[in-house]
Amino acid sequence: MGNILEINNLCKKYDNFELKDITFSLPKGMIMGFIGENGSGKTTTIKAILGIIKKYEGDIKIFGVDNKTNSEEFKEDIGVVLDDMFFPEILTPNDINNSFKSIFKNWDSKMFYDYLKEFSLLPNKQIKTFSKGMRKKLEIITSLSHKPKLLILDEPTSGLDPVARLEIINIFQKFIENADASILFSTHITTDLEHIADYITFIDNGHIILSKTKDELLEKYGIVKCTFEEFQKIDKKDYQKALKSKYEYKVLVSDKRKFKDKYNIKVIDKVTLDELMILMVKGED
């Protein structure tokens, strides 16, 4: 299958923040959810991937090509939607089509206008008349209409209502079904990834905490709820993190079956990506 994106030991240091040994890979034809709190390093990592940040240590390869070569050839095959991305408000979708078909060799005007029709975006209306959700949809369908092989998304659904978020998620699902391509989907809204992600990579404070298939995380990981006395009997090596509340402990375990057999626990709750993120960030070793 091969990897579309490979990052090895990426490091970038600022005065008040540091990326430390970021390493993960995105296989061809897969969607990776890149999760973490705001300020955890998601956007910095993405900007390094895109070459916006040029001075860093480590290696980034896209389609097998070293990112530091600044190859225009592979950049043609990358679609991008950034959280702070925007089109000038005086433009119309018609203007965007006319501009982008001269920029991208693979620009597909029919695809672009089909998307506009599907999402009720009028081609002759200025962007300043669009709602936030409509603008975000326009950014996304623009990124798809030059038929990229890698789609990089930085908080594409942030601030949108649930209906708009669902519509945008459906766009990504259709894209991955009909193209031999991959998506790196950075978000702190983990519920957007529950149904579409194949892999989850979790970054916290500039460190990669874990990078696994979503199925492994949701099937093998679990949460044990117990009293203080019960928690005292659990060996530290048998759990990942523990979070104390007023009445109980929530204990994150990485192998439900093994833990259940060892401690004769009858009930271990399934873990959601939200709970996983909270426990990994707020819990104690």
Position 38 scores a pLDDT of: 84
In DSSP terms, 202 is beta-bridged to 35, 210
| Pairing label, strands 31-35, 182-187 | parallel
Give pTM, 2 decimals: 0.90
Position 246 scores a pLDDT of: 84
**Ranges of CATH 3.40.50.300 domains, the chain:** 3-214
Tell me which fold the domain 3-214 belongs to: Rossmann fold (3.40.50)
Flag residues of the chain having pLDDT under 50: none
Position 188 scores a pLDDT of: 81
Position 71 scores a pLDDT of: 60
Position 189 scores a pLDDT of: 83
Position 76 scores a pLDDT of: 84
102: tokens are 């001269």
